[in-house]
Amino acid sequence: MASIVLNHIKKHYGKSDSNAVKDFNLHIDDKEFIVLVGPSGCGKSTTLRMIAGLEDISEGDIYIDNNRVNKLAPKDRDIAMVFQSYALYPYMTVYENIGFGLKMRKFKKQEIDERVRHAAKILGLEPYLKRKPKDLSGGQRQRVALGRAIVRNPKVFLMDEPLSNLDAKLRIQMRSEIIKLHRRLNTTTIYVTHDQVEAMTMADRIVIMKDGEIQQVGTPEEIYNQPANIFVGSFIGYPGMNFIPAKFSEGSILIENSRFNLLDEEIKLLTKHHYQDKSLIVAIRPEDIHMASAGTDSSFEALIEISELLGSESVLHTSIHHHDLLVKVFASNIKSNDKIDLQFDFTKMLFFDAETKKLIH
Amino acid sequence: MKRKIGIFISILLILFWSLAPVYWALRTSLMSSSSLIQKPLKYLPYPINIENYSQLLGFNSSQSIWPQFESAMLNSIISATGTTLIVIVIAILAGYAFGRLEFVGKNIIFVSVLVTMALPAYAVMIPLYKIIISLHLIDTQTGIILIYTSAFAPLAVWLMRSFFMTIPKDLEESAMVDGASRFRALCTILPMAAPGLIAVALLTFLNSWSQFAIPLVFAPTNAKPLTILITEFQGKSFINYGLMTAAGIVTIIPPILIVLFLNRYLISGLTAGSVKG
């Protein structure tokens, strides 16, 4: 068990000026489950590999359990890593694969045997110990990779997109298994993924990255409800958040020539930050736009271009003054080309600066 | 159908082209000197005469040349096996370094290694001769193995480099996180490079076994291999074709056996390595 501190971490390759990771600062508490999430190329895997010691740190310091580990070889950092490809040795049995790390660290045969069998029991791998990886299903291979990590009882687990190679159904199953495993072992875990659903469902805290920079750090609720900027808002949540250019004037917002009255709190907020008669971006999640009966105050009529039925709910593609709008409603009877009345839930509405793209709060 | 027949005939022609000399050597080795010069020419070795083989392998004590043959055979085995072992070690370490590690001047060094493959052996023969003389390694196994190693290592390094590049990096990184040193991590991925290793070993062994010009210059007496011995079965006015071909046939048996047993590794090794390079 250990806390991890990343202090002004930077990574650049060769002589190039552009940084793959730019000034990364994070304090990870003991037992915490941290998810690094972002689009490909955002530097999340590089950051993880620097913590693992597989990548040199260009600038800054990393501390694991209060020890500076910058110069330590991966094997001396007391970490375990699960790779996207599982990294199992094809010529070794499941038993040998799980016990590999212990053998490398010169554990006694009996101890190895006990630990491997214990890990296999936790992961339901007991019947497969004598098999080779090629005779296992994707999910089982994934479990073997997890087994290799937990058998050593390391201070930290690092997981690099461990579920990306699984099909959707298995991914959901393994997701909950990893969460259960974390509850059971309580080992500090850093988990890298590009899948926002994994981030939302697994993390104690999420770190959202883009272009080598942290965009926001927070609990899933914080990130979902108070995204720090437009990128975070659009990245987290499905379907994505709606962003509509608008103007704040006289206690209401103007979307083109439609006027919507704001709540007192919102007027106060925008006035305080001097947005009077200025452009800004209004953001609202698809589930915060509701169907309204015609003629209700601040409702508007919308033509449904596409209606996607997801089961109990539908995602409607529509627009307001030529700005695309996604709406999620609990109704299955709305068809394409229908015209319906909609209404914003103003308590859930967020405002972003039109230039900096940052949340106004 | 026409295509198939065409391919079939082409294969037959190629087979004939490469096997006819071997058959002719076999036929000659099984005939007595007198029946060799008989007219009309005999295409089949009849009556079969094993006199040449018994002389070669020492069954016939009166004119046995087994001692010379034995020592040449040993020389061939030692030089080919020794070269193969050394080249494999070099190819693993250098191939891994070129394929995986980052260091200053990597590409320049790698290209320099490859360039040596383009140099014809004859171009370096005289300087090499001077070097070997000054090292007092002329006509020794050590000298021969050194020369072979320098000649065959570049191709082997190149092959192993391509091979290591096809093995996922994750496997070594995972080993290193699990407690292995860089070298130990290399050892854990070696079983996956086995086809490449076998291909390298085969090529090196066969190449060393069949060398002629180099041992002719550098190992004419004490370290003399089979390929050189064979040419010596001739006097001033008489060439012993029977003995020469018998020795030739015995000489090609070891490589044939090796290729028969290991050729599938050779093919998979060469093709798998060529995917990336």
Average pLDDT over all residues of chain A: 92
| Claim to verify: residue B142 and residue B74 sit in the same structural domain | yes
Chain A residues touching residue B176 (CB < 8 angstroms): 53-54, 73-75
The answer to whether residue B55 is domain-embedded is no
Length of chain A: 361
Q: What are phi and psi of B196, to 5 degrees?
A: -65, -40
| CA angle (A149 as vertex; A143, A150 as ends), nearest 5 | 85
Residues B26 and B75 in one domain: no
Query: Under 8 Å CB-to-CB from A78, ≥6 apart: which residues?
Result: A2, A64, A154, A155, A156
Is-contact B228 B210, C-beta < 8 A? no
Eight-state DSSP code of residue A20: S
**How near does any CA of chain B get to the CA of A162, in Å?**
12
Is the pLDDT at B272 greater than 60, yes or no? no
One domain for residues B101 and B211:
yes
Do B96 and B33 share a domain, yes or no?
no
**A215-A219-A225-A231 Cα dihedral, nearest 10 degrees:** 20
pLDDT of residue B47: 80
B61 and B124 Cβ atoms separated by less than 8 Å: no
What DSSP string runs through A222-273? HHHHS-SBHHHHHHSSSSPPEEEEEEEETTEEEETTEEEEPPHHHHHHHHHT
Q: Summarize pLDDT for A274-296 with one digit per residue, the tens.
A: 998 999 999 999 999 998 887 77
Average pLDDT (A262-272) is 90
* Domain of residue B7, residue span: 2-49
Closest residue, chain B, to A87 (C-alpha): B171
Q: Tens of pLDDT along B89-109?
A: 999 999 999 999 989 999 999
* Contact residues, chain B, for A81 at CB < 8 Å: 173-174, 177
By Cβ distance, the residue of A74, A90, A91 closest to B176 is A74
Is the domain of B70 the same as that of B11? no
Check CB contact of B178 with chain A, cutoff 8 Å. Answer: yes
Other beta carbons less than 10 A from residue A113's beta carbon = 14
Q: Give the lowest-confidence range in A84-98, A202-216, A255-269, B227-241.
A: B227-241
CA atoms within 13 A on the CB side of B119: 15
Query: Is residue B43 a part of any domain in this protein?
Result: yes
Least CB–CB distance from A85: residue in B168, B188, B192: B168
**pTM, to two decimals:** 0.83
The answer on B73 and B39 residing in a single domain is no
Number of domains in chain B: 2
B176 touches A at CB < 8 Å: yes
Structure tokens at B159: 């092959």
- Partner-chain residue, chosen from B174, B179, B188, that has the shortest CB–CB distance to A105: B179
Question: SS3 of A300, please?
Answer: strand
Domains of chain A: 4-235 (3.40.50.300), 242-353 (2.40.50.140)
- What integer pLDDT is reported at residue B277 of this predicted model? 33
Q: What is the pLDDT of residue B43?
A: 83
- What dihedral angle (degrees, nearest 10) is formed by the CA atoms of B186, B192, B195, B196? -30
Same domain, B264 and B202: yes
Question: pLDDT tens digits, residue range A54-96?
Answer: 999 999 999 999 999 999 999 999 999 999 989 999 999 999 9
pLDDT of A336 strictly over 70: yes
> How does pLDDT run across A121-165, given as a tens digit for each residue?
989 999 999 999 999 988 899 999 999 999 999 999 999 999 988
**Are B179 and A104 a contacting pair at CB < 8 A?**
yes
User: Do B38 and B71 share a domain, yes or no?
Assistant: no
CA-nearest residue of chain B to A158?
B177
**pLDDT higher than 70, residue B271:** no
Write the DSSP symbol of residue A176: H
Residue that the structure tokens 């990306």 belong to: A164
Q: B70 and chain A: CB distance < 8 Å anywhere?
A: no
- Whether B203 is covered by a domain: the verdict is yes
Q: State whether residue A63 is helix, strand or coil.
A: strand
**Sheet of strand A252-255, all strands in order from the earlier edge strand to the far edge:** A258-261, A252-255, A242-249, A278-284, A350-353
Q: What is the CATH number of the domain that holds B263?
A: 1.10.3720.10
Q: Is B56 inside any structural domain?
A: no
| A162 vs B contacts (CB less than 8 Å) | none
Chain A: give the shortest CA distance to residue B110, in Å: 20
Q: Distance between CA B131 and CA A356 in Å, rounded? A: 72
Mean pLDDT, range A222-237, rounded to an integer: 94
Six-digit token pair at A224? 């979902």
